[in-house]
Chains A and B, each alone.
Chain A
Amino acid sequence: QSALTQPASVSGSPGQSITISCTGTSSDVGGHNYVSWYQQHPGRAPKLLIYDVTRRPSGVSNRFSASKSGNMASLTISGLQAEDEADYYCSSYTTVNTHILFGGGTKLTVL
């Protein structure tokens, strides 16, 4: 089964907002609320940013927010900071064989 579709890269200037999309199907993103987002800095383990489509774990900045419409989920980062430069992955439960899918990842560059 194919991974969820994310843009390969996005960029923004400090203080701006950016949005990363994650497109799936009705078998995964569109079919339930088990959608999550992860941030990964180079050489580090991923970190959970968002779970259950919109919920933020304690300790995650409220500059990170997320939503879903149909088969597409979105992660928005507001007030971009240099430390936000990282790779971002979406993930979703799927009713098809594989059970958990990841997106291909989006590299965020803070200009």
Chain B
Amino acid sequence: QVQLVESGGGVVQPGKSLRLSCAASGFTFSNYGMHWVRQAPGKGLEWVALIWYGGTDEDYAESVRGRFAISRDNSKNTLYLQIHNLRADDTAMYYCARDSAGLRGLDYNFDYWGRGTLVTVSS
């Protein structure tokens, strides 16, 4: 069965950097686009970033562009999110999610989600 397991969250000081990971299993990871979605405590969902199945193209929400970097290692079935210059408003649960399109590209929906990893930015 499809599994996505995030890791790398924790309590981090403002201005620091952090790398989140998402280990995928149960499907051919290299055939699917992937996303990061975050949810601040008690708030709604916010799409953060996407990367195409081959890793050749990516894009970001305007709110994180320039500070966040999404990447993937298809040989390790792992998705990453590098976050630089962390701010208090980056405090959130970060979910990785699979795009349903497969080799068709992107359908801009999320058919499988991990359980999330919590990032808390605090001094």
Contact = CB atoms under 8 A, between A and B. Distances in A.
A binds B: yes
A91 B109 CA distance: 8
A45 B3 CA distance: 12
A38 B116 CA distance: 16
A46 interface: yes
A40 to B, nearest CB: 8
A42 B122 CA distance: 24
Interface string B28-55: 0000000101000000111100100000
Given A45-B114, A45-B115, A51-B100, A101 B47 contact: yes
Contacts of A57: 111
A52 B50 CA distance: 18
Given A38-B45, A89-B44, A98-B47, A46 B109 contact: no
A94 B46 CA distance: 14
Interface in A66-111: 89, 91-93, 97-105
Nearest to B46: A102
B106 to A, nearest CB: 8
B89 interface: no
A36 B109 CA distance: 6
A1 interface: yes
Interface in A24-50: 34, 36, 38, 40, 44-48
B107 interface: yes
B45 A99 contact: no
Contacts of A98: 47, 61-62
Contact of A1 (B62, B108, B110, B113): B62
Given A47-B113, A51-B111, A99-B47, 6 more contacts: A1-B62, A45-B115, A46-B95, A48-B109, A91-B110, A93-B108
Interface of A: 1, 3, 34, 36, 38, 40, 44-48, 51-52, 57, 89, 91-93, 97-105
